[in-house]
Structure 1
């Protein structure tokens, strides 16, 4: 995604992230169609993914997936549930406190790890089985963000999520 010039009005607005976020949950998908493993920390490998996740070693564009904590109640409401557990949605990190969409096309830091938001993390057809009829549509626009790992390291629960200036 190409960002507008930094000195334009839109560029200034898009760069305005006065608060940092926080990692609220970490999960790994060891294999396709098996339950996720909730962990308190994970090693992020540059250009590869998360150690222990089935996508580790892939193309790197989807090295890590993130979802907005504030969207979980929305997805629950739209799919007819009182609540939705993070593992149900199969994203690696649940992040609160800043809008993930603002990190698309930008570099950001989680703890010691530097990432770049690459694309929306659209829902897959498995959300119908996970959330029930309409689950796919309940997640549309709320699926989160895919990111590439630029500088690896360890991500911990509670780590700050901070947009970097380019």
Structure 2
């Protein structure tokens, strides 16, 4: 998704965010079908992803997965749970305060790491086991964002999440 031409009203609207978001949770998937490992700090490598994550050496388009903190209570309610731990949803980063959907196709920073939103992070069939019957549908439209790592660095809980003009 590209921004409309500079100077247009739609370009201005799509380039404006009410505030920076915050990184609230970091999780690593060390291997398939094992619990995620929650960390406070994580290294990130350009072109790959999080150091210690099983997808860290992948193609890059899905180097890091993010989910919106504001969506967790909705997914919990739709799947019949009082609350959900971010690890159940198998995304690397939980962010709040900035709409992830608006970052699709655009560059953004979390701390000193530069990312580019590459597409939706749709739920998979594993959500039926994690959330119960209907878990896949409970998460549809709220699965988060996949991102490519353009510049590596270190992520820390509390880091700002900010859109970057191209």
User: What band does the TM-score fall into relative to the shorter chain?
Assistant: over 0.9
Counterpart secondary structure, 1:12: helix
Give, in whole Å, the separation in 1 of the partners of 2:18 and 2:77. 29
Question: 1:17-40: CA deviations, max 9, x gaps?
Answer: 130000000000000111000000
- Deviation of 1:2 after TM superposition, in Å, equals 2.7
Number of residue pairs aligned between Structure 1 and Structure 2: 166
TM-score by length of 1: 0.98
- Deviation of 1:10 after TM superposition, in Å, equals 1.8
Root-mean-square deviation (Å): 0.8
- Deviation of 1:3 after TM superposition, in Å, equals 2.8
TM-score by length of 2: 0.98
Give the match for residue 68 of structure 1.
68
Aligned residue runs from structure 1 range 36-47, under 5 A: 36-47=36-47
- Deviation of 1:13 after TM superposition, in Å, equals 1.1
Unaligned runs of 5+ in 2: none
Counterpart secondary structure, 2:148: strand
Give, in whole Å, the separation in 2 of the partners of 1:8 and 1:143. 31
Question: 1:15-67: CA deviations, max 9, x gaps?
Answer: 11130000000000000111000000101100011100010111000010000
Aligned residue runs from structure 1 range 65-104, under 5 A: 65-104=65-104
Unaligned runs of 5+ in 1: none
